[in-house]
Amino acid sequence: MAKEKSKKTCKKELMEKIKALENELSHEKALAEERLTQIKYLRADFDNYVKKLDAEKQEYAKIANEKLILDLLPLLDDFESAIKTGVCDLHGLSLLYSKLLKVCEAHGLKKIDALNKKFDPNLHEVIQKEVCDKDDGLIISEFQSGYMLNSKVIRPSKVKIAVKS
């Protein structure tokens, strides 16, 4: 009889443990569902943030271009005036070139200094080589100016370099 009572007690304890585990499982399932919903909302929020950031970046680019164009308008006016009046001599063109260069420099453009410098493949592109008595790799002629925008090379200088015989 004691054995039977012990079995009943064991069975009762097992049923209670099963019930407790079922309750815990149900609670954990609900918690997992809640976390999954939170993750979905966070993902949607992040996607919206990325879209907003892209839109802002495009807007900044438009504003930056607008500033550049506004700075170039007086130069366009000078060109138009020079064409209308027929004053297109070398001195006038030189002044307009200087004005244009200043506007571009104000927006981060920098001319790459090449002539009589040592060849740098990051800044220069060799178009010709000439055998001469100058230092090997020295730039002796520039065919086309190179430019950097801020710290990025946007067009390398096209150059002729010296090659020792």
| Of the ranges 2-16, 67-81, 95-109, 124-138, the best mean pLDDT one | 124-138
Give the contacts of 74 (CB within 8 A, at least 6 positions apart): 99
CATH 3.90.20 holds for 1-107? yes
Q: Which CATH number fits domain 110-165: 1.20.5.50, 2.60.40.10, 1.10.10.410, 2.30.22.10?
A: 2.30.22.10
Q: What single string gives the DSSP state of each residue in 82-141?
A: HHHHT---HHHHHHHHHHHHHHHHHTTEEEPP-TTSB--TTTEEEEEEEE-SSPTTBEEE
Local confidence band at 2 (pLDDT 50, 70, 90 cut-offs)? low
Give the contacts of 150 (CB within 8 A, at least 6 positions apart): 108
Q: Are 140 and 132 in contact (CB under 8 A)?
A: yes
pLDDT confidence of residue 24: 95
Q: Are 125 and 145 in contact (CB under 8 A)?
A: no
Give the contacts of 162 (CB within 8 A, at least 6 positions apart): 129, 130, 131, 132, 134, 135, 136, 137, 138, 139, 140
Q: Are 91 and 126 in contact (CB under 8 A)?
A: no
Average pLDDT of the residues of the chain = 89
Structure tokens belonging to residue 109 = 């453009």
pLDDT confidence of residue 1: 60
Quick: pLDDT tens for 23-38.
Answer: 999 999 999 999 999 9
Q: Are 119 and 139 in contact (CB under 8 A)?
A: yes
Instruction: Break the chain into its structural domains and give their ranges.
Output: 1-107, 110-165
Local confidence band at 41 (pLDDT 50, 70, 90 cut-offs)? very high
